[in-house]
Amino acid sequence: MHCPDTFRLTGGTLANKFQLNTQVLKQSWDRVTEYGDDVALWFYEYLFHAYPQTRDLFPLGMAQQRDRLLTALGRILSDVDTTEDLVPFLAQLGQDHRKFGTLAEHYPPVGKSLLATLAHFLGPAWTDSVAAQWQAAYDLIADVMIGAANDASNDAPAWWDGRILKRDQRYHDVAVLTLQTEPALEYIPGQSITVEAPTRPRLWRYYSPANAPRADGSIDLHVRALPGGQVSGALVRELGPGDTVRIGPCVGQMRIDPDGVRDILFIGGGTGLAPMKAMLDHLTDPAVRNARRVHLYFGARTSEELYDKGDLDDLALDHSDWLTVSMATSDDRYYQGKRGHLCDVVIRDNEWVGHEAYICGPPAMVETTIGSLRLAGVPDELIHTDPYVLT
């Protein structure tokens, strides 16, 4: 299976190509988002009432899905002036939605419900010209998503069955699962997949494989059972060898530049270590290695939560000529290693100017670390992370 990451349109930005007034779109969306959660609630109530055939595409519990709607729309509008960011995002969105059973005929009901929602919350500000701009924008979004879904359908299933081979309980709420897909799932180290547990139908959670693709097709997932997390709780506490989960298409733009020559900084908070470990695994391949040095930082609250310490110690020993591994805890005063918030530890250790920086972990940690690296002089184009907001 090949994971295409583009459905390219050329010749200027999407906004210019399709004569979109992005200022109108962004200003009207900003006004709508002032109503918070009510927007998504109203949208889905309208969608399910007016088009009941769409209800089966969504989980019974809609709280997570409502959050994702607003986040995805916000991401689309923030990138609407940047074709190279927006088009791959929309393409992956379209490919990924196949796992829900989404078909081309589902897009018009969603578009009509979106416009009805905007009209409801904008009131008198919902003019004919504003409506025309939103209709044009949605038509563009739908066209890219449908086209990418059709392309992906030619050579890839909508989802894969993944059989759990092993569950290694590393901490009371953290497990490393090894599973195998049929057929084999191809992905680029640093990308993510979504997982659906058989006991939690139509609920999907993002995870990054923690290894580069292997000859046997097996994948390691680092899973923390989040408070109230239905999928993560099932994976950590209920499922084991022999059980089967569903896996959605690979997504994400975070990856190693194969032609890169800059030294690399990996920063993983908690199970955000997983994509860093996959990219590091990729770099251990002699066919990939070059003169780049790699610095990996792994952080958790306590020493017990440094669940992958043994494996990382072995990697650091095996590749000591080019790899350094540092671990830190934020809330463990008895820990003998580095202590403090991970971003503070990273900034204390080096200037990092000129390094390619890759970050994954809890959203607040990622945001803080990006800000700290910027203040330290690392330019945005050298800072890489992937917000998991695709569905």
pLDDT (tens digit, 9 = 90+) per residue, 334-378? 999 999 999 999 999 999 999 999 999 999 999 999 999 999 999
Within the chain, all domains assigned CATH 3.40.50.80 are found at 264-384
Do 124 and 143 form a contact (C-beta atoms < 8 A)? no
Domain 160-247 class?
mainly beta
Sheet holding 160-171, edge to edge: 205-207, 193-196, 244-247, 160-171, 174-182, 218-224
Domain 14-153 class?
mainly alpha
- Please list the residues that pair with 358 across neighbouring strands: 266, 384
Q: Which residue type occupies 302? A: T
Note the pLDDT tens digit of each residue in 64-123: 677 777 778 888 887 777 666 788 888 888 988 899 888 899 999 999 999 999 999 999
Per-residue pLDDT, 119: 97
Strands 193-196 and 174-182 come out as: unpaired
Dihedral sign, Cα of residue 239, residue 244, residue 246, residue 251: positive
Do 372 and 267 form a contact (C-beta atoms < 8 A)? no
Closest listed residue to residue 162, CA positions, set 195, 203, 205: 195
Selected from 3.40.50.80, 3.40.50.300, 3.40.50.1100, 3.40.50.150, the CATH number assigned to the domain covering 264-384 reads: 3.40.50.80
Per-residue pLDDT, 58: 84
Do 230 and 281 form a contact (C-beta atoms < 8 A)? no
Helices (H) and strands (E) in the chain, counts: 12, 12
Q: Which helix (H) or strand (E) holds 234?
A: helix 230-237
384 burial via Cβ count (<10 Å: 0-12, 13-18, 19+):
buried
Positions in the chain short of pLDDT 70: 1-19, 64, 82-84, 387-391
Closest listed residue to residue 220, CA positions, set 135, 277, 304: 277
Task: Report residue 177 CA to chain centroid gap.
Answer: 19
Per-residue pLDDT, 4: 41
Per-residue pLDDT, 202: 87
- Please list the residues that pair with 218 across neighbouring strands: 180
31 burial via Cβ count (<10 Å: 0-12, 13-18, 19+):
middle
Closest listed residue to residue 322, CA positions, set 285, 267, 369: 285
Within the chain, all domains assigned CATH 2.40.30.10 are found at 160-247
pTM comes to 0.84
Query: Token match 């800000």: residue?
Result: 371
Per-residue pLDDT, 75: 80
Within the chain, all domains assigned CATH 1.10.490.10 are found at 14-153
Per cent of the chain over pLDDT 90 is 70
